[in-house]
Every structure is written in structure tokens, then in C-alpha cells.
């Protein structure tokens, strides 16, 4: 494993040297173009200063800036126990020494990212939309991919390479803009100050600087993208290895790519950090060259072609199968790991079609929990009840079984009084259900779902609905008429 991280680091250093040289040449040329004879050194210094400040900011505050600007909120395990469990599972599977902090972004666009200066101080953020549409295995796949970025030390690379790229882009942009606005004046000033010869030389320097200022950001971007895309493949491969279940991530990517939502808090600089490109609308035509991520459909196809096992070698051969040619996508050090990693066979396939309706309810739950709602469970029937922060009564009867429920007021702010329960508070319309069954008596009884599956009801059944275990139809159960 250490081999893999070392190989990653070597590649990063090579990239940083090339990009750093580009930045320095750019600064020098611009300096020379503006202030002939000696201005180059000044320009170089300015370029390095800008880069140095950005890097310091990125080092000390990079994660908090990204987390804040994306609207992520740190959450405690009770907000979403399953998410915490899955993160901890992946921490164990990848052998990380510390548990990453967990953030939820209040956005319906399904996406996720990991950020942090060191593996010990890392955070994983997922959107509420992601939690809403993925089942457990899929969520595990996504978290595994993000954990792999932490494990493979990709985050630091993404952050610093992104900052360097940003500096090159910024400086070129400022230079070209300043020419556009003050081009005429500066050339007049120049022709007066120097003789004809140096004026001509100056014009050549200016042209070279302009050409370089146009080309450098493009080259730097292509270089950056080539490597960041490779890291996406590697994170997919590591993720599959950690979970030993490539289908989880494949199916998650499929669901995420089906979403039409744009993540509004993402931008060009932060886009490469996400599991899939959060900016869907832009740059579609140049997808192959200018995308930070490999095409999603290709990532899915590779994961689904991993027939033999869940190891790195299996991912590599799946990649070759999809592309129909021999080419290495993973570093040699990863492939040296020859140990067989068997794929887990899921116990039950039923969750694949888990209904969208219950998911939407879950999405609301998550958003409310992020906004400090209190969740209480009825001691009598187990009903989950959401109590908004404004609720101020000490106790209230359970909407379903009338057991008195105590409200731990200390944990809540006390203004207003609204009670909302999961099942009763919701506007129930017939459309929410695929089928209605009215109970004849409150004893053991059985009926047939429209799919043909026999469903048994016990005398204790007190819910409003149930999901058919065969076809996932949501069946409303009405009480017997007395």
C-alpha cells in the first residue's frame, strides 16, 4: 500500500515542477512585457508571491473554506446513523488511523467529496440528495471512493495542484484583461521611452507573452486533468477493493448520473473534489478533454466488468476489457498486489428497487435533522416522531398509540408549538400508495398483493402501510370497520 502512495507522490512532484516552471516563465514574460529590461524578475516575484499566499491559505484554511462555501454542516451520528456506520466501516476496511469527520450538504443534487490536510484531519461530505436516493450498499460504495482519496493522499494533491492551476489562470487572465483595457496607452508610452530597436524587441516580447498567457492555462489545465482523472480511476479501484463489492459504487454512479440537479454551491475550482462533476450543464462538448472526471458511463462499465474479483488487478483487466486494448490505468505498485480479493455476494437483491417515495421522506428527515430537529421514538409502538426546535410542551401523546412521550426540553429551543409526526403529519393522498387493503378483523389474516405475493398481517400490526417484499408496492392498510 505504501508503494502506491509513494508512486502517487512521485507523479505529483513531477506535475508540480512542470506547473511551477510554467508559472515562473509566465511571470517573467509578463514582467518583461510591461517593464522592459529587468521587469522580468519583478514579474517572477509577483507570480511566486501570489502562488505562495494562495498555498498558505489553502494549507491552513482550505478545508474549512470548501466546507463552508459548499454549505456543508458537520453532523453527529444520531442525524444519520447509517452514514456514520458506513464511514466507520470504510475507516476499518482502509486501515485509516482516524475516523473522518462527517458533513451533510443541504442540497438535492446527489454528490460527495472528501477534504483535509492530512489523513488524520479529514472530512467526508455528502449531500442530503445523495442520502435520499442511495441504498446502503451504494452509499458504502460512494464513501469507499472518498475514503480511497484520503487513503491514497489524493486530497492534498488535488488541493495544491488546483491552487497552482488557479494561480496560472488568474495571472494570465489579469494580464490579458489589462492589455484589452489599456493596450493603446502603454504602447505609446513605450515608443517614447526607448529607441526604435528596443521598441521592436519589446514588441516581440509582448507577442510571446500574449501567446504564452493564452496557452499556459490550457496546458496547465490539461496536465492537471490528465492526472486527476487517473486518480478517479484509482479511487474507484481502491473503493471496490475496500468494499469488495464493485456493484455498489457502479449502481450509485448510475443513480447519481441520472439526476438532473446541479449542485449550486460548486464552482470550477471545487469541481474536481466531488465524486462526479457537479457542474453538469457546462462544457459538455469538450467533455473528453476538459472534464476533471472520466465519463461516468465508462466508470460504471469498468466496475461492472470486474467479474473475477475486487482487487486492483481485476480493475485493470476490466479497464482493458472496456477499452479493448492494453493500457495501464493503475500504477504498477497497485498491480503488484497479487492477493485474490473475492467479490461479496449480496444476501438479498431486493433493495435494488427500493421505492422513491420512502426515499423522499428520508431526504426530509435528513434535512430536518441537519437543522436540529429532535427525533424521538415512541416507547409504546416504536414510531419515529420528529419534533421541531420550536416545540415547547413537556410531553405529548403518541399520534399512533397514545402513549405519553416525554420531550427532553433541555435539548431544544422553546418557541412556538408545532408537532409533526412522520406518518400522521404528512398529507396522505391515495396517490402515495400503489394499493389499498382494508382489514377485515384485527387477527391473523393474509391477503394477496397485486404481484401475487401472499402477505400476512399479525394482530399486532399497527402501521399505516407496508411494502410488499416481492414487488416493493406500497400498500395502505386500513383499519377494520367496527
Partner 1 sequence: MLGYIIVIGLIIVAAMFVIGAYNSLVRLRNQVKNSWSQIDVQLKRRHDLIPNLVETAKGYMKHERETLENITEARSKAMGADSVKEASKAESELSGAVSKFFVVVENYPDLKANQNFLSLQEELTSTENKIAFARQSYNDQVLFFNNKIQMFPSNVIAGMFNFKEADYFEVETQAERDVPKVDFGD
What would the 3-class secondary structure string for 357-380 be?
HHHHHHHHHHHHHHCCCEEEECCC
From CA 165, how far away is CA 292, in angstroms rounded?
13
Q: Is 236 in the site for partner 1 (CB under 8 A)?
A: no
**Span near partner 1 by CB under 8 A; candidates 80-88, 160-168, 169-177, 309-317:** 80-88
Q: Does 461 bind partner 1 (CB under 8 A)?
A: yes
> What is the Cα–Cα distance from 435 to 472, expressed in whole angstroms?
11
Under the binding rule (CB under 8 A), the answer on residue 4 touching partner 1 is no
Neighbours of 71 (CB within 10 A): 16
User: What single string gives the DSSP state of each residue in 394-463?
Assistant: SEEE-TTT--EEE--GGGS---S---EETTTSS---GGG-SEEEE-SSSSSEEEE-TTS-EEEE-TT---
Q: Of residues 7-36, which lie at the interface with partner 1 (CB under 8 A)?
A: none
Name the residue nearer to partner 1 (CB basis): 279 or 466. 466
Distance of CA 325 to the CA centre of its chain: 30
- The interface mask with partner 1, positions 335-364, x = CB under 8 A, is ---------xxxxx-xx--x---xx-xx--
Q: Does 60 contact partner 1 by CB under 8 A?
A: no
Does residue 467 belong to the site contacting partner 1 (CB under 8 A)?
yes
Phi, psi of 342 (to 5 degrees): -70, 145
Q: Give the nearer residue to partner 1 in terms of CB position, either 58 or 108.
A: 108
| 182-190, 268-276, 328-336, 465-473 -> range binding partner 1 (CB under 8 A) | 465-473
Least distance in angstroms from the C-beta of 321 to partner 1: 26
Find which of partner 1, Zn ion, none residue 81 binds, CB within 5 to 8 Å per kind: partner 1
Q: Cα dist. 452→82, 113, 468 in Å? A: 32, 43, 10
Under rule CB under 8 A, residue 380 binds partner 1: no
β-pairing verdict for 420-421 and 404-406: unpaired
Instruction: Report the distance separating Cα 457 and Cα 475, nearest Å.
Output: 12
- Residues 6 or more apart whose CB falls under 8 angstroms from that of 432 comprise 357, 474, 476
Considering the complex, what minimum distance in angstroms separates the CB of residue 107 from Zn ion?
A: 18
| In the complex, least distance from residue 481 CB atom to Zn ion, rounded to whole angstroms | 22
Give residue for cell 389499498. Answer: 436
478 catalytic? Reply is no
- What H or E segment, with its residue span, contains residue 326? none
Per CB under 5 A, does 153 bind Zn ion? Answer: no
Q: Which of 81, 183, 408, 416 binds partner 1 (CB under 8 A)?
A: 81
Query: According to CB under 8 A, which residues from 83 to 122 bind partner 1?
Result: 85-86, 88-89, 92-93, 95
The per-type count for the chain, helices as H runs and strands as E runs, is 13, 14
Residue 135 near which of Zn ion, partner 1, none (CB within 5-8 Å, type-dependent): partner 1
Q: Which does 203 bind (CB under 5 to 8 A by kind): partner 1, Zn ion, none?
A: none
**List of E strands, 46-171:** 72-74, 101-105, 112-116, 122-127
Beta-strand pair 122-127/101-105? parallel
If contact means CB under 5 to 8 A according to the sort of partner, which of partner 1, Zn ion, none does residue 235 touch?
Zn ion
Which residues ranging from 267 to 296 are in contact with Zn ion (CB under 5 A)? 275
The contact set with partner 1 (CB under 8 A) reads: 81-82, 85-86, 88-89, 92-93, 95, 132, 134-137, 139-140, 242, 344-348, 350-351, 354, 358-359, 361-362, 377, 381-384, 455-458, 460-463, 466-467, 469
The contact set with Zn ion (CB under 5 A) reads: 232, 235, 275, 378, 380-381, 383, 398, 400-401
Just list the catalytic residues.
Answer: 146
Amino acid at each position: 500500500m505504501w508503494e502506491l502512495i509513494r508512486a502517487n507522490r512521485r507523479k505529483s512532484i513531477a506535475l508540480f515542477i512542470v506547473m511551477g516552471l510554467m508559472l515562473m516563465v509566465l511571470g517573467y514574460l509578463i514582467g518583461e512585457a510591461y517593464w522592459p529590461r529587468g521587469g522580468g524578475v519583478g514579474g517572477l516575484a509577483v507570480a511566486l508571491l501570489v502562488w505562495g499566499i494562495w498555498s498558505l491559505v489553502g494549507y491552513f484554511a482550505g478545508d474549512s473554506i470548501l466546507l463552508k462555501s459548499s454549505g456543508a454542516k458537520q453532523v453527529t451520528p444520531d442525524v444519520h446513523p447509517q452514514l456514520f456506520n458506513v464511514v466507520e466501516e470504510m475507516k476499518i476496511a482502509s486501515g485509516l488511523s482516524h475516523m473522518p469527520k462527517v458533513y451533510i450538504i443541504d442540497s438535492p443534487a446527489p454528490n460527495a467529496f472528501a477534504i483535509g490536510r492530512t489523513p488524520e484531519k479529514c472530512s467526508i461530505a455528502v449531500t442530503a440528495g445523495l442520502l435520499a436516493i442511495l441504498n446502503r450498499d451504494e452509499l458504502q460504495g460512494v464513501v469507499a471512493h472518498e475514503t480511497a482519496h484520503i487513503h491514497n493522499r489524493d486530497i492534498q494533491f488535488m488541493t495544491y495542484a488546483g491552487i497552482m492551476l488557479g494561480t496560472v489562470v488568474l495571472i494570465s487572465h489579469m494580464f490579458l484583461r489589462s492589455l484589452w483595457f489599456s493596450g493603446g496607452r502603454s504602447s505609446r508610452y513605450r515608443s517614447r521611452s526607448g529607441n526604435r530597436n528596443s521598441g521592436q524587441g519589446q514588441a516581440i516580447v509582448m507577442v510571446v507573452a500574449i501567446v504564452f498567457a493564452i496557452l499556459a492555462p490550457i496546458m496547465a489545465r490539461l496536465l492537471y486533468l490528465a492526472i486527476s482523472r487517473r486518480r478517479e480511476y484509482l479511487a474507484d479501484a481502491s473503493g471496490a477493493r475496500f468494499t469488495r463489492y464493485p456493484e455498489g459504487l457502479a449502481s450509485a454512479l448510475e443513480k447519481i448520473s441520472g439526476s438532473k440537479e446541479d449542485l449550486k454551491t460548486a464552482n470550477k475550482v471545487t469541481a474536481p473534489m466531488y465524486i462526479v462533476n457537479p457542474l453538469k450543464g457546462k462544457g459538455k462538448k469538450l467533455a473528453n478533454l476538459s472534464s476533471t472526471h472520466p465519463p461516468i458511463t465508462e466508470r460504471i462499465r469498468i466496475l461492472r466488468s470486474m467479474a473475477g474479483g475486487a482487487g486492483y488487478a481485476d480493475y485493470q483487466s476490466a479497464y482493458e476489457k472496456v477499452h479493448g486494448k492494453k493500457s495501464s490505468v493503475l500504477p504498477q505498485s497497485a498491480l503488484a498486489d497479487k492477493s485474490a480479493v473475492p467479490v461479496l455476494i449480496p444476501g438479498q437483491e431486493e433493495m435494488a428497487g427500493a421505492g422513491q417515495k420512502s426515499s423522499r421522506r428520508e431526504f426530509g428527515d435528513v434535512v430536518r435533522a441537519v437543522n436540529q430537529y429532535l427525533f424521538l421514538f415512541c416507547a409504546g409502538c416504536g414510531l419515529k416522531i420528529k419534533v421541531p426546535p420550536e416545540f415547547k410542551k413537556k410531553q405529548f401523546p403518541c399520534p399512533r398509540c397514545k402513549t405519553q412521550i416525554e420531550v427532553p426540553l433541555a435539548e431544544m429551543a422553546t418557541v412556538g408549538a408545532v408537532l409533526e409526526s412522520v406518518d400522521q403529519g404528512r398529507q396522505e393522498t391515495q396517490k402515495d400508495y400503489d394499493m389499498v387493503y382494508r382489514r377485515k378483523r384485527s387477527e391473523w389474516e393474509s391477503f394477496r398483493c397485486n404481484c401475487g405475493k401472499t402477505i400476512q398481517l399479525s394482530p399486532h400490526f399497527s402501521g399505516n402501510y407496508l411494502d410488499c417484499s416481492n414487488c416493493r408496492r406500497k400498500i395502505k392498510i386500513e383499519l377494520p370497520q367496527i
